[in-house]
Amino acid sequence: MEESNPELESFRQQWKAEFSARAQVEGSKHHPTSTGSSKSTRRPPAPPRIAAEKVPKNVVEEEEHANGHPFLGLDAPRGGISKEESSKPAGTEPQSALEHYEKAVEKEAQGRLGDSLNHYRKAFKLDHRVDLTYKNKHFPSSSFISKPPNTHPATDQVTKITTAHHSLDGTPQPINQLIAGFSSLSIEPALPAVEEDPVLPCPLATLPGEILVYIFRELAIIDVASFVRLAQVCKRMAYLVATEEQIWRRVCEGSEVGFAAMHYQFQVEIHGGPLEDENFPSPPSDSPSDLTPELIAPFTNITQANLTSALLQSLYSSSWQQMFRLRPRIRFNGCYISTNNYIRPGQAAPSQLTWSSPVHIVTYYRYLRFFRDGSAISLLTTAEPFEVVHHLTFELLATHRNGANAHLPSAVMQHALRGRWKLIPAAEHPEGVEGDLCVETDGVGPKYMYRQDLSLRSAGKGARNNKLAWSAYWLYNRLTDDWAEFSRRNEKPLFWSRVRSYGNGA
């Protein structure tokens, strides 16, 4: 075999020469007369015996050690062993945590993961921060040169965002100027999915502006939310939605969703009949108002249209869109729901030995639905919204009056109360603002009546007039003309939720 492999024979001769030279260097460092030194010269282990069938693998390993591989060599800091350390006897076991860690790195570089894992465990057992010590020793922070920050962004990154922006650091354009820039644009057909396909026709692009505004106005009357979502279609529609004041004026002055449907005086009796008695009892107030009937009388004769026009100039900067968004109003295409919780102590079973008493968390819901004629339905129940909201109608209220038809799915309506509502005008408010709501409903008997004083608020970033906050909750005794106020400790605000089955509200 030796005659057939001259390269292997030359490698053996080279290896023997290097080993002899290394042994001579080892012996020159010790005194030859001492017994310990004579033993130390015999301590360096002999190189592993090279079996005939494993020659190629060992040859590769020895060549890597001899050539000083940047990652696996003895001179590289990656292995964690210096030239002086390489001369140490291989049989000595590491003593410190750092030595174990360096040995683990060396074994890992050689592919001996089992031995490497053992040394890692011993190293971290001795010092849980040995990895930082190894990093500071072999990879100090001074050896890394940080890149200077790039003050100028790449040109291709800027151009990839949009052609309308000249730099990433530029201030955003105000929304009014952005919308005004869409005034000269037109509705363009959608591009085909494939470049060579013909462009599909767009009927809206050929319509005159007057007809397009008329279509948008009819859509806004049916559903304002759908009309606003047209701004997401294209820039031309976004411009019309934001600036077409005649559409917003029609919405505000109309009775579909506008302020013509708002009532600032009671329109019906609590039971739903026509209004007969105009002398309404009012609960006692801790802070009496300076507004006398003589002062209020001139404002009660103002029509709703005149009041809306006056508020448009004074409070809403002559913007119908801003008035519709910000002015307090009741919504009829949904209902207001509050979720309330309270804790009730329980009782353990007689046969059960416990050191603590059970506690019940009771959850109940309060529902309020308003109608355009000034009537309302109030319901307090433990049933969840999906079981209730579709049954809040006067027909089902009459069906389940006095607990009748309890076998129907809408039996939850047997606890519902009929009532009426009105908004408190600014002339009757102590601070002269709008936004307070009064709801009167039936009581537990014919001689009682409930009165709920609420305030219209906003919850969320974009939504408006979607929250009813509690101001007071009263019980009125018709026989004794007495008022008693309920505690609102467990009462939470009511939040508006749209119900599609209501449509625009009856």
Task: Give residue 86's domain range.
Answer: 6-143
Based on the domain organization, do 139 and 23 belong to the same domain?
A: yes
Do 479 and 341 sit in the same domain of this protein? yes
Q: Is residue 475 part of a domain?
A: yes
> Which pLDDT score, from 0 to 100, does residue 268 have?
93
d(CA 308, CA 322): 13
**Residue 155 covered by a domain:** no
Final residue belonging to a domain, choices 243, 268, 297: 243
Instruction: Share the mean pLDDT of the chain.
Output: 79
**364 and 475 assigned to the same domain:** yes
Q: Do both 122 and 230 map to the same domain?
A: no
Of 250, 256, 229, whose CA–CA distance to 241 is shortest?
229
- Same domain, residue pair 365 and 239: no
User: Which percentage of the chain shows pLDDT scores above 90?
Assistant: 39
pLDDT of amino acid 90: 52
Q: Is 138 left (phi over 0), alpha (psi -120 to 50) or beta?
A: alpha
Same domain flag for 219 and 336? no
Query: For position 164, what pLDDT does the model report?
Result: 43
Per residue in 68-102, pLDDT (tens digit) is 444 333 344 444 444 444 444 555 788 899 999 99
Q: Are 316 and 323 within 8 A, CB to CB?
A: yes
Residue 159 lies inside a defined structural domain of this protein: no
CA distances from 192 to 195, 196, 235, 387 (A): 6, 8, 19, 46
Q: Would 263 be classed as within a structural domain?
A: no
Last residue of a domain, one of 219, 243, 267: 243
One domain, residues 199 and 130: no
CA distance 141 to 135: 9
Domains identified in the chain, total number: 3
Q: Is residue 492 domain-shared with residue 451, that is, in the same domain? A: yes
**Which pLDDT does position 426 carry in this prediction?**
84
Res 391: pLDDT:
95
Instruction: Among 7-11, 198-202, 313-317, name the one with the lowest average pLDDT.
Output: 7-11
- Together in a domain, 342 and 196: no
Lowest-confidence region among 169-178, 385-394, 435-444, 468-477:
169-178
In a domain, 483, yes or no: yes
Model confidence at 7, in pLDDT bands (50, 70, 90)?
confident
